[in-house]
Amino acid sequence: MIVVLITAPKKDAKKIAKKLLNKRLCGCVNIIDSVESLFLWHGKIDREKESLLIVKTVDSLFGKLEEEILRIHPYDVPEIISFKLNNVSKPYAGWFKEELGSC
C-alpha cells in the first residue's frame, strides 16, 4: 500500500476524489479542507489556500492514478507525492484488499 498526497483548489478536491474512487484507482481519499501552501513558482514565492487529498492505493496503480490526476487536475504541475506504508493494521489491509481486489 501507498499514500499519495495531492493538493488542489478547494472547489476541485471532491471532484478529483470521486473520479479516482469511481475508477477504482484507490480505496479511500481523505480531504483536509484548508491548507495554506507557500511554494516557489517561476522564481517567486507564491501562496494558495488549497485542500489536501490523502489518497490510499497500491503501488501497482500509481501510474494510472498519476495519469488520471494529470488529466483532470486544474494545475499545470499538480503535487503528486507517494509514500510506501511499512505497517498497516490487518483489518484495514483486509478491507482495502477486498475493495480494490487483487491489485
Residue 83 pLDDT exceeds 60: yes
Model confidence at 102, pLDDT cuts 50, 70, 90, reads: low
Grid coordinates belonging to 29? 481519499
Q: Are strands 44-57 and 28-41 parallel, antiparallel or unpaired?
A: antiparallel
- At residue 100 the predicted structure's pLDDT band, cuts being 50, 70 and 90, is confident
Contact between residue 3 and residue 82 where contact means Cβ atoms under 8 Å apart: yes
pLDDT tens digits along 7-54: 999 999 999 999 999 999 999 999 999 999 999 999 999 999 999 999
pTM of the model as a whole: 0.91
CATH class of 2-100: alpha beta
pLDDT of 60 over the 70 cut: yes
Q: 74 to each of 13, 48, 78, 96, how far by Cα in Å?
A: 10, 14, 8, 29
CA distance 12 to 17: 9
